[in-house]
Homo-oligomer: A and B are copies of this chain.
Amino acid sequence: MKAMVIEEFGDSSVFVEREIEKPKVEPGCVLIHVQATSVNPIDTKIRSGAVSGIAPQFPAVLHGDVAGIVAEVGEGVTAFRVGDEVFGCPGGFKGTGGALAEYMLADARLLAHKPKSLSMEEAAALPLVTITAWESLFDRAKLKKDQHILIHGATGGVGHVAIQLAKWTGATVYTTASSTEKLEIGQKLGADVGINYREESVSQYMDQYTDGKGFEVIFDTVGGKNLDSSFEAAALSGTVVTIAARSTHDLTPLHSKGLSFHVTFMLLKVIDEDQRHIHGEIIGQIAQIVEEGKLKPLVDAKTFSITEVSKAHEHLESGKAIGKIVLVNNW
């Protein structure tokens, strides 16, 4: 089969098209005829070698997010049949299949039936970011309907999904972004209040929206210096969840305010055989929420074919994408 592989770590130009062996279906797995995939920041980090410990062996087929059609069903799999439309984030790293190919081998526990109301491209945009947002908001922050949550990064992959899931819960949602255009998108997705972080300081928006008391729950999808802003914006006994914490921080605000702080790294459950079923269950629920019309992916205006994966990575790394970048199988 055809695949876009990397034979070494490098910049976005490192992908090459190769003919590789089609994976054989294994017990508990299905073989997916890939229709679409999407780029997540972790894919660019695996590609560059920044997280080489979790990279697949060369020649490596990257990308976890997939939407496609079940082509073969392994022994013991009862939830899916040949021809079923499925989606999920079943790989893209060490020991798993990747979606930048005609076919992807996937543990059936990590998949769900694709929502009928979504195209393959839209379905491929959802799995990693939605599972991440779900684990962050519900498993970690235990977000409840009467709470006020600040979500940083309104139009980011995880941010735009988090806004919708938080609203689905009934919480009051504040969101930050760098422009009026992005904030308008965030508010269309359901955010009650949009905050332009380039125009308002943390203390200004804390005063304006919380009487200076801070936010009960903060979901930081940005990291870096923004994490310090999150600690600053948290209320006494508040909760901060982030997806990016590979950095050094003064923890004094966590002490003074008795904060809880969580880092969500969704791949850990994909690695752990005993926990994989949890992801399948989450995206099963996500599919229902999509069908209820409460969740829709934001797909960037630029879409690519899988053979254009270098351009897709370049676009992600430019920081200019709004929502998810999707790639369609053009073989």
Closest to A241 in B: B260
Closest to A251 in B: B245
Classify the interface of chain A: helix, strand, loop or mixed: mixed
Does any Cβ of B come within 8 Å of A261's Cβ?
yes
Does any Cβ of B come within 8 Å of A321's Cβ?
no
List residues of chain B with CB within 8 A of the CB of A248.
Answer: 248-251
Q: How far is the CA of A251 from the CA of B224 in the complex (A)?
A: 11
Does any Cβ of B come within 8 Å of A264's Cβ?
yes
Interface on A for B, CB 8 Å cutoff?
140, 227, 236-237, 244-252, 254-265, 268, 272
Are A245 and B236 also in contact (CB < 8 A) when A261-B262, A262-B260, A262-B261 are? no
| Min CB–CB distance A144 → chain B (angstroms) | 16
Copies of this chain, complex-wide, total: 2
Most buried by B among A247, A255, A257, A259: A255
Q: Which of B256, B260, B264 contacts A140 (CB 8 A)?
A: B260
Are A247 and B251 also in contact (CB < 8 A) when A236-B268, A268-B236, A272-B236 are? yes
List residues of chain B with CB within 8 A of the CB of A263.
Answer: 251, 254-255, 257-261
Q: Which of B247, B249, B257, B264 contacts A268 (CB 8 A)?
A: B257
Q: How far is the CA of A66 from the CA of B268 in the complex (A)?
A: 46
15 contacts between A and B (CB under 8 A): A236-B268, A244-B255, A246-B255, A247-B252, A248-B249, A251-B263, A254-B261, A254-B263, A255-B263, A255-B265, A258-B263, A259-B262, A260-B260, A261-B261, A261-B263
